[in-house]
Amino acid sequence: MASTAGGHARICLGCWDQMKMPIPIRGPFAIPFRAFGITRSKMNPNICTICERSFRRVKKQQHITAAATILFADIRGFTELSDRINPAILGEIVSTFHDQCAQAIWAHDGIVNKQMGDGLMAIFNFPIRTERHAAAAIAAAIDIQRRCVEVLERLGSRGGELPDKAIGVGVGIHSGDVEIGEFSSFRSDFTAIGGTVNLTSRLESQAAAGEILVSAEAAAAAPDLVADAETRSLTLKGIEHPVSACVLRMHA
């Protein structure tokens, strides 16, 4: 594992972990690569754009199955907030949210794979490998909550008429096999799809402001981090049986 746990890597950690290929992304050796359009990825500054664009060609496969932990996060009550708050401040809240989440995710070697308005999806254990990927995602989520609570409350308080409850972030985390690849003919970046991803998204939709909902599978892989957590049984849309999740609550 080439991970520097959020530090500044000289070579792409993804290319190294996946293919043992040293692709320079910082320093003088990175300059000729830049001429060929190989630069640092926006998904994580410690991986390169080969990991995004040439994934299929390098792997010679349309997609692969990989064990990963998926994290979804969004700003709870955002729609309600949008109607009440000055659009400039709203924009600031969203960009601050994305910045803070990215810092937390990168610090634990995850990638910000998708950003969707007031929400995002992160992948842990691909392309940067980390054996304790569930623990990495949970640690990132705790970090997200810590960072966002302070910043969002400060920003929100400048917006005037706030909803009764404070602005907060909800997070869902689940581990399992995902299909990773390029699933669009006009977008060349990779993503993860499958049941694990769907369940994570549904979990996240049930998380209240300040909550991290961790699936039983992810919790089992990181028992030390969820030791004091309450367990909640959830009925999730499109999933037949109730799903049990550990609830980490960062603040009252």
Residues lying near Zn ion in the complex (CB under 5 A) are found at 12, 14-15, 47-48, 50-51
Cβ nearer to Zn ion, comparing 59 with 249: 59
Cβ nearer to Zn ion, comparing 50 with 173: 50
Minimum CB distance to Zn ion, residue 3 (Å)? 13
Pairwise CA distance, residues 25 & 41, whole Å: 9
Minimum CB distance to Zn ion, residue 7 (Å)? 16
Q: Tell me, rounded to whole angstroms, the distance of Cα 76 from its chain centroid.
A: 16
Minimum CB distance to Zn ion, residue 19 (Å)? 8
Q: H helices within the chain, ranges in order?
A: 13-19, 30-35, 50-53, 55-59, 78-84, 87-106, 133-157, 195-205, 216-221
Cβ nearer to Zn ion, comparing 21 with 247: 21
Cβ nearer to Zn ion, comparing 34 with 84: 34
C-alpha dist (Å) from residue 172 to 105, 125, 140, 167, 204: 14, 17, 12, 17, 4
Minimum CB distance to Zn ion, residue 55 (Å)? 9
Instruction: List own/partner pairs for 111-118 with CB under 8 A and 24 or more apart.
Output: 111/41, 111/43, 111/44, 111/47, 112/42, 112/43, 112/44, 113/43, 113/190, 113/191, 113/192, 114/191, 117/78, 118/74, 118/75, 118/78, 118/94
Cβ nearer to Zn ion, comparing 48 with 121: 48
Q: Is the peptide bond before 22 cis (omega within 30 degrees of 0)?
A: no
Cβ nearer to Zn ion, comparing 15 with 169: 15
Minimum CB distance to Zn ion, residue 38 (Å)? 8
Minimum CB distance to Zn ion, residue 146 (Å)? 30
Backbone φ and ψ for 121, nearest 5 degrees, come out as -125, 130
